[in-house]
Structure formats: C-alpha cells, structure tokens
Amino acid sequence: MAKILDKKIIRDPDVFYYKLSAPLISRKAKPGQFVIIRLHEKGERIPLSLAGINPEEGTISLIVMAVGKTTSEMSTLKAGDEIMDLCGPLGQPTHVERFGRVALVGGGFGVAPLYPIARAMKAAGNEVVMVMGARSADLLIYEKELSEVCDKVVVTTDDGSKGVKGNVITGLEKELDANKPALVLAIGPAPMMKAVCNATKPYGVKTVVSLNTIMIDGTGMCGCCRVPMTNGTKFACTDGPDFDGHEVQWDILMNRQKNYNPEERESFEAWKRRHAGAITEKAG
Amino acid sequence: MKPGPKKIIPHKTPMPEQDPAVRSGNFYEVMLGYTAELARKEASRCLNCKAPKCVEGCPVNVPIPRFISAIKEGDYAKALSIIKESNLLPAVCGRVCPQESQCEKMCTLAKKFEPVAIGRLERFAADSQLNEVGAMPEISSPTGKKVAVIGSGPAGLACAYDLAKLGHKVTIFEALHAPGGVLFYGIPEFRLPKKIVAREIENLKKTGVEIITNAVIGRLITMQEILADYDACFIGTGAGLPKFMGIEGENLNGVYSANEFLTRVNLMSAHSFPEFDTPIKRGERVAVIGGGNVAMDSARTALRLGAKKVSLVYRRSEEELPARKEEIHHAKEEGVQFEYCASPVRIVGKDGLVTSLECVRMDLCELDESGRRRPKPVPGSEFLIPADTVIMALGTSANPLVQKSTPGLSVNGRGYIMADPETGRTNIEGVFAGGDIVTGSATVISAMGAGRKAARAIHEYISRKNQGSVP
C-alpha cells in the first residue's frame, strides 16, 4: 500500500500531480526510472515515469494524465487514499554526465519526467535547454518549474498562443541550427519522439528517447515491452526505458503500442458508464 | 483367518475429471481428486516394499509407503503429516510433479503393471485436510537470527519454511504483487487452483515468515544492504526470462511469450476482462511453439479463451515431448492439434498483425548430446499454419537482476548462479542459491528440494557464526 500524501490539478481537467509516500523507493530512484502501480485487486499494472524524487521526505511524485481507464480511475483518488501496489524503482536511470549542451524535448505531459532529468543534467554541469510544446498555451505544464532549472526554455504551441508557433520540432531545429547540442533527450508520444529523431539525424546529434511501452511485470519476465532496435530486440523494462532513438524501429514499436487500443477503449467506456462524471466531479 | 495372496490390480484407479468438451471452455480444475473410497482402493495397490524404490525416486524423499499405509488405515491427517516431514507443498506437488519420471517410475509395480498413483494419493492426503485447521508445525524457540529469502516461488517457500521451523526470522522479498512465483503466475488455474497456493502461503505465514511484495531486489534494496541487515540470504529468483527465436515477424502484434500469455491470465485474470482491467487477445487460431509443460499450459489456456483451433508446433516427434504425460493426454483430449517435426522459420503478418506461422519440416537424424534425435530441416518443405496468435514456449533463461547487482557473485556462461548442489552455497559468504536460478528451468519439486538443502546449510552456517561471535 502506498499512501497519496498530496494531489494537485496540474492542468484542468485531466493532468494530476500525486505525491506518494515511498521511503524505500525514494532512496534508490534516479531520474529516468519508473514505477509500476496497481490501483486495486482487479486493476492492471501500469508503468509511470517518476516526475519527482525526494529521499529526505521519503516521497516520490508522479504526473498522470487521465487518458484511459486506470489513469482516470486514479484521478478520482485524493490525498489520504491508498494505492494498492507500488513497485519500483524500475528500469535503468537516464545516463547523466557532463555532455556540454543538452537539449531536452518534451511533448504533452512527457514534460513532467524531464524535470528530474533537467535537474540532474544541470547538476552535472551541463547547459540545459528545454524545448516544450503543446497544442495551445492552456495545455502547457511545468513551464515555471522547468524555467527555474534550465538555462533556456523554448515554448512552442501549434496555434501560436504562446512562444514559437509550430511544434517542438520547429523549436528544436532552431536550436540545432543556432548552437548544436551534444545530446538531445526526448520524452513524449512516440510519433513526436520519432520526429525528433528524424530531425536530429542529419545533424549527427546523439538522441535518447524514453519509451513508454505496454508492460506487465517490469522486471524482464514477460517480454511484452519488446523494443525493436536495428541491432535486435530489447526490453524497455530492464534495458530501458531510455534508448538510442536513431536505432529504434519506430513503425513496429508504434504498432505494438496500439495493440490493445480496442480493449482499452472498451474498458474505459465500461468504467465511464459506471462512474459517469467521476473525473469532472473530483476535479471540480 | 489369514488373508490369501493379494491379487494385484494392474491399473491405477482412475481419478474423476471434468469432461474434455466441458472443461476446455472453463478454467476450473480438470482433475477432481479422489474420494476417500477411491483413495483407499488405490492405496491398497501399494506393496509396501521393504526397500522402497519410490522414495529414492522422489527429489525430497517423501516416505511414500508410510503415508500410503496411513491412507489405507483411513487416517488421512496422519498421511498428510508424514508427507509434510519432507514436503511442504503436497497439494501442489501432488498436482504438478512429473511423477512418471520420479517416484512412480521407480515403483515396483511399474515393472509389470501401472505404478501406484502416488501423486494422486499425495494430492488426496493434502486435499482431505483442506478445511481442517491442522496442527501447527513445531517451531524452535527464536534464535534471533535473520534470513532474507529472495523470490517466493517453490525454492524460496521451502527454504523459508524450514528456516522458520528452526526458529530463525525469515523475510521473503517478492518482486510481483502476489507471492508464489511460478505457482501463481505460471501454472494455470485449471491445473493448480490459486486457492491451493494461497492456502499454502497462509500456512507459511503462520510460522512467522514475513512476505514483502513489490520488492525488486537489485533495484529497491541492494544485495549489500541485505547482507548488512541479515545473517544470511537465499536467492531463489527462478529462471524467468522468456526466450524468443529471433525469427522474422516476432514483434508483430499477436506474438506472445508464454510468460506474457500465462501471466496475463494467471496473475492478472485477463480471462475475466473487462471485469479485471488487464486485456488479452482471444485468438481464433493459435499456434504454440514448444513441447514442454508451459507449451501445454499455453495451448490449453488459449482453448479456454475461445480459440477455434490450437496447433502445437514441436520440432521433434511425440516420443520426445518433454511435458508431463498427463498434460499431453489432456491437451489432446481437449482438442489441441499436435504438429510434430516442424520448426518455425518466420511469422507472417499483414497490417502489423500475425496472419500465419511459416514452418519447415524436420527430419530426425542421429542422436545429439542430450541423447535425443537431432532435428534437421528438410529443404523445400516449408508450409504455413494460419494463425492470429503465436505463443512462444521455448523455455526460459536466468533473470540477471539480482546477479547484476551483486558484485563478485559467480555465475556461469548462461547467467545462472554457481552454487554447490548439496548446500546451495555460492562464492560469497552468507549467500546461498537454489532452484531454477542455479539449474535452469526444472521442476517445482527439485526447486523445493534445493530450497530445503540450502535451509539446512544456512542453519549450520548461522549457528556456527553464532558460536564464533563474542557476545
């Protein structure tokens, strides 16, 4: 059992911040790692990236967007409630060293797990540029927090309501042209990460992506999280979640990610029927 | 009046089972167990040999004729307590042990007739006491010593149980959210009901053993921390890593490792989706690759999920199938199609989904180093098996998580921990290991045997350490 100590709305109505009591995990976790949660007896196991690690407090934090059944059900929990199972830290930490200039690219709520990575990269002596994008200004998250950590924050919006008009690739390409970073690290939806890799390839910039595959155990046992790479198949749970983005076979990976889309919709619809309005009620 | 010479009943007393046509549509247990009457009838077949060979055939040397005599006498509680002298999990072993290659193979009757159904009697003894409170095992007074056990599968459970009885404080660390290891996530409900596993684990907890779930050793807690906090440690993490073939199309949707397929159902109850959250694809045409128990379990699970046709693809012939005889028999009865002497060469797909499995015929030629005939592909014999689901049940390999986080621990070329087969001792002082993480994939009972041997060695080790230390 893991107790929720704090819960906040990061972006109304669907992105939430949770602070969980996790003394042991917080002592071991490093940026780039993840945890697996199971909400209750009938729940599925889902991997969630760490958005904050606080060993002094004995807590970890997660930023979760309510997109499907489990994440929406999680959004109905509040401070004081408990999550039945919390397992972690899992996966390899993000490789942090002094690279020089590092560009972090975050799409959607992928920006959240980049926060601890930005701090670690900064602490290792890097110049850290954050390129973050959303469809419009009201969908941006964590801009303030990242501004406090990074040397530069480039905001892009599809509709031009804030920062550069366009997507993160527009912002990233400007950085690649102006002052080429030694490393690009991207977290977000797979099509965005694929686009980042396509953009950096001509510049020869090493590009690390953090993959969010379907998982069950998270310890290498089930092989569900297979990542097709040019040099063979890897497991996101134990070999990753960070991979050299230029080696990932994106089309196969994205096909695998959507394997259970029909079932996920079915499960979500059934849950919504049973809990009509639950998200908006709790969020309101 | 003296009884006349005993007439030997040549065949095992059949055990009632669910009708194949019915059971292939449900997840309830296939074998229904002996009634007391059937058990006593079967027990009466035992010759009670003076030098019983069956005991030698058992990896943990259960006193087989003694417990069978107790069944003959109708004292089932006594029968169970006799088994429990050597076997912590009789309800499990009676169901899943490969008796035909162990105790029953050695049975004197087996020379001319069918052997005594030792497994079925073991199961009967255990099940007869299912609802009884049962006597608590005698537990020695607390020694104040602490032992960590990593992994709650058969090896870890057996090791923990023996150490707890000796008065040591045992903590088991389990990576998943439920204890039991392969007994829980691997072996299906229709072969080993989860309530049996849960009950055995409850019994273990009564001896004072603590089980911490969601604890991945090597990530959450390091081996150094374990060794600093505990007097000794037993590693029983099993061989959990799935093997793939490295053939084209393996990452298409619809291709599962048997581990994933079975874990979704056994651990996550995906057969009850959407009541349970975890989904599984209910394939219509399923091809299972492999010939062991896990392949049988996968094929039979696929049938229960509603598959119209399940083909089991094995590269050798029927006689080399490594699965338990009973599982093969049950799989056939339930309608699994066996495709012998066939080896997959690629998985064919369309729009990212599996459409068929391409295989090549194998010719069985000269014997290989394992004494089995070596299969050789027949050029030009490629053929397609239409399938929307392909399950790879090719065996497993060592999960490297614990070894990687334990600097200096000796492992062999395949990643298995090097440990003394008699004591489980590794090259690091105070660290013992046993079960599949040492031997590679084997059986529940051999893992339990290894756990028990290690428990004895750990007890000696910490007792000696105790004497050596200055209070």
Residue B59, domain extent: 20-127
B69 occurs within a structural domain: yes
pLDDT tens digits, A23-59: 999 999 999 999 999 999 999 999 999 999 999 999 9
Q: Are residues B77 and B59 in the same domain?
A: yes
> Which residues in chain A are contacts of B219 at CB distance < 8 A?
28, 88-90
Q: What's the pLDDT score for residue A102?
A: 97
**Cα first-last separation, chain B:** 67
Q: Are residues B110 and B153 in the same domain?
A: no
Rounded to a whole number of angstroms, the distance from the CA of B77 to the nearest CA of chain A is 34
Q: Are residues B117 and B232 in the same domain?
A: no
A233 vs B250: CB contact, 8 Å cut-off?
yes
pTM: 0.93
CA proximity to A279, closest of A66, A39, A42, A44: A66
> Which residues in chain B are contacts of A69 at CB distance < 8 A?
277
* Integer Cα distance of B172 and B160 in angstroms: 7
- In a mutagenesis test of the A interface, which of B213, B219, B268 is the best target, namely the one with the most A β-carbons within 10 Å? B219
Q: Contact at 8 Å (CB) between A120 and A31?
A: yes
**Cα first-last separation, chain A:** 27
Instruction: Report the number of distinct structural domains present in chain B.
Output: 3
Q: How many Cα neighbours within 13 Å face the side chain of B369? A: 0
- Those residues of chain B whose CB sits closer than 8 Å to some CB in chain A are 175-177, 185, 213-216, 219-221, 240-242, 244, 246, 250-253, 256-257, 259-260, 263-264, 267-269, 273-279, 281, 352, 399-401
Rounded to a whole number of angstroms, the distance from the CA of A105 to the nearest CA of chain B is 27
User: Strand, helix or coil at A199?
Assistant: helix
> Which residues in chain B are contacts of A38 at CB distance < 8 A?
177
Q: Please, which pLDDT band fits residue B470 given cuts at 50, 70 and 90? A: very low
Count Cβ atoms below 10 Å from residue B202 Cβ, excluding itself.
Answer: 9
Identity of residue A95: H
DSSP letter at A9?
E
The last residue of one of the domains, among B365, B396, B427, is B396
Q: Which residues of B257-289 are buried (b: 16+ CB within 10 A; e: fewer)?
A: bbbbbbbbbbbbbbbebbebbbbbbbbebbbbb
Paired with A82 in beta bridges are A3
Q: Are residues B210 and B287 in the same domain?
A: no
User: Strand, helix or coil at A38?
Assistant: strand
Rounded to a whole number of angstroms, the distance from the CA of A267 to the nearest CA of chain B is 6
Q: Are residues B353 and B259 in the same domain?
A: yes
Q: What's the pLDDT score for residue A207?
A: 98
* Integer Cα distance of A113 and A110 in angstroms: 6
* Integer Cα distance of A111 and B68 in angstroms: 66
B132 occurs within a structural domain: no
Q: Are residues B380 and B405 in the same domain?
A: no
ipTM: 0.94
The last residue of one of the domains, among B361, B396, B431, is B396
Q: Are residues B312 and B209 in the same domain?
A: no
Radius of gyration of chain A (CA): 18
B389 occurs within a structural domain: yes
Could you tell me how many residues make up chain B? Answer: 471
CA B186: distance to chain centroid? 8
> Which residues in chain B are contacts of A237 at CB distance < 8 A?
none
DSSP letter at B253?
B
pLDDT tens digits, B271-304: 999 999 999 999 999 999 999 999 999 999 999 9
* Integer Cα distance of A54 and A50 in angstroms: 11
Instruction: Match 């669910």 to its residue by tokens.
Output: B18
Q: Are residues B315 and B360 in the same domain?
A: yes
pLDDT tens digits, A68-121: 999 999 999 999 999 999 999 999 999 999 999 999 999 887 899 999 999 999
* Integer Cα distance of B3 and A48 in angstroms: 72
Q: Are residues B109 and B254 in the same domain?
A: no
> Which residues in chain B are contacts of A226 at CB distance < 8 A?
250-251
Rounded to a whole number of angstroms, the distance from the CA of B207 to the nearest CA of chain A is 23
Question: What is the helix (H) or strand (E) element at residue B71, kind and residue range?
Answer: helix B64-72
pLDDT tens digits, B358-415: 999 998 877 777 777 788 899 999 999 999 999 999 988 988 888 888 889 999 989 9
Domain with residue B183: its CATH number is: 3.50.50.60
B55 occurs within a structural domain: yes
DSSP letter at B217?
B
Q: What's the pLDDT score for residue A274?
A: 84
DSSP letter at A54?
E
Q: What's the pLDDT score for residue A278?
A: 55
Instruction: Match 């091809």 to its residue by tokens.
Output: B287
Q: Please, which pLDDT band fits residue B4 given cuts at 50, 70 and 90? A: low
Per-chain mean pLDDT for chain B: 92
User: Strand, helix or coil at A126?
Assistant: coil
B134 occurs within a structural domain: no
**Could you say which of B175, B277, B400 has the minimum Cβ distance to residue A267?**
B277
B175 vs A42: CB contact, 8 Å cut-off?
no
| Cβ neighbours for B165, distance < 8 A, ≥ 6 positions apart | B137, B138, B139, B140, B207
Q: Are residues B25 and B116 in the same domain?
A: yes
A217 vs B175: CB contact, 8 Å cut-off?
yes
Q: Are residues B119 and B59 in the same domain?
A: yes
B15 occurs within a structural domain: no
The tokens describing B282, both together, are: 């209910």
Rounded to a whole number of angstroms, the distance from the CA of B277 to the nearest CA of chain A is 5
Domain with residue B27: its CATH number is: 1.10.1060.10
Complete domains list, chain A, with CATH:
2-90+265-274 (2.40.30.10), 101-257 (3.40.50.80)
pLDDT at B1 exceeding the cut of 60: no
A220 vs B246: CB contact, 8 Å cut-off?
no
Q: What's the pLDDT score for residue B468?
A: 57
Count Cβ atoms below 10 Å from residue B467 Cβ, excluding itself.
Answer: 6
B113 occurs within a structural domain: yes
> Which residues in chain B are contacts of A224 at CB distance < 8 A?
256-257, 260
Question: What is the helix (H) or strand (E) element at residue A34, kind and residue range?
Answer: strand A34-38
Q: Are residues B250 and B378 in the same domain?
A: yes
**Could you say which of A28, A43, A266 has the minimum Cβ distance to residue B219?**
A28
